[in-house]
Amino acid sequence: MKKTLFPLFVLASALHAQTYDLLLKGGHVIDPKNKINAPMDVAVAGGKITRIGAGIPASQARRTVDVSGLTVTPGLIDIHVHVYPRPENKDVARDSNVQADAHTFRSGVTTVVDAGTSGADNFADFRARVVDRAQTRVLALLNIAAAGMGTGKEDELSGLDPQAAVRVAKANRDVVVGFKSAHFAGPGWESIEAAVKAGTEADMPVMVDFGYLNQIRNLPTLLLDKLRPGDIYTHCYSGHREELLPNGKINPAMFTARKRGIVFDVGFGAGSFYWYVAVPGFEQGFPPDSISTDLHTGSMNSGMKDMTNVMSAILNQGSTLEDVIRMSTWNPARQIKRQELGNLDVGSEADITVLRTLTGDFGFIDSAGAVNSGRQRLIAELTLRKGRVVWDLNGRAAESWKTFKYDRKKWTK
């Protein structure tokens, strides 16, 4: 009898000791919020991060994933994407919006912010059809133009309704994180002023895609007079708005604006990132505050590609890996006032990205099609969302087919 009970007791004790659902073991953790940049293990249970430290025993986890030689980071945050295909757009092939889950996890992104595709008039539809159904955490910057982006109505002054925008934002604070002014071609400041008015009333930031300059609208006035500390200037290396002056110098207004708290975001896009602006920017000490993609069908197959490609482009300009991760996690989390995101706090939701850094000869293309070479490229090896593996490039978290228990009944009648 004793010989029979002893193995059962040992088995029960072992099962009891397995306190973690998953253990990422042997990786190098970079968590800028918590100032961690060291070899550590990360344990997950119940969809939450439960422990971070060196030498966590594999015996305490039901599943252990070897991430030796890789970098473990908070789930990446992309604060400029377009993921709202409108129902009225019958020409689906020409809709530039993309499905969030089809692009996020494979590039290590667990949270995206749709940057102004919806406005007060159609946010409810965006929430019902996209936000509430996606596995990706989808947040929103509400377009100050009530009709949203891509409708041809962003210049209509009657649609610039800060009161309606604030009502929608306050009713959806779990999703709406700010407001967006974009593509306004009017001669004045109506779109900017309406967005800032809404932002002030709702205590939320404003992101600006400034369009093009005219006799009234100029970059220094925007950055130094119209925007507030904490507001976000996206497409910071576009060159369309005199970010780079004819003398080859970064516009001094950008340095002054940064000192007063204006945030500068990459927003790569299909026509908003050029090496002739970005390289002098880095050389003159003006890196971005946050990295984002401006993801849509026009950017994903051109120079932008995906989040890790944009991070790699910035990495090769002299930023450290820790800086690039900060620009893609903790900085954007703070910019949208969601400090529960972008970190590996114990007790926080287990959104985790595992990156590999490749070394070789790589090329990075800008929005004009010009290439700049680099020696490092980041790729997403593994992505966890709420503690569940949602992307596994090389099957690190999977069981070998030789021992896997196939359920053939699922595929046969």
Distance, CA of 57 to CA of 87 (rounded, Å): 51
User: CA 409: distance to chain centroid?
Assistant: 40
Q: Are 248 and 280 in contact (CB under 8 A)?
A: yes
Distance, CA of 182 to CA of 147 (rounded, Å): 12
Per-residue confidence (pLDDT) for residue 151, from 0 to 100: 83
**Does any domain span residue 41?**
no
* Cβ neighbourhood burial of 113 (10 Å; 0-12, 13-18, 19+): buried
Per-residue confidence (pLDDT) for residue 93, from 0 to 100: 61
**Does any domain span residue 34?**
no
User: CA dihedral in degrees (328, 329, 332, 334; nearest 10)?
Assistant: -160
Q: Which CATH number does the domain housing residue 97 bear?
A: 3.20.20.140
- Low-confidence stretches of the chain (pLDDT < 50) are 1-6, 8-16
**Does any domain span residue 249?**
yes
Number of structural domains (the chain) is 1
Could you tell me the residue range of the domain that residue 109 belongs to? 75-345+359-369
**Does any domain span residue 351?**
no
**Does any domain span residue 228?**
yes
Q: What is the pLDDT of residues 133-188, one digit of tens each?
A: 999 999 999 999 999 998 888 889 999 999 999 999 999 999 999 999 999 988 89
Q: What is the pLDDT of residues 85-120, one digit of tens each?
A: 987 776 666 778 999 999 999 999 999 999 999 999
Q: Are 42 and 24 in contact (CB under 8 A)?
A: yes
**Does any domain span residue 80?**
yes
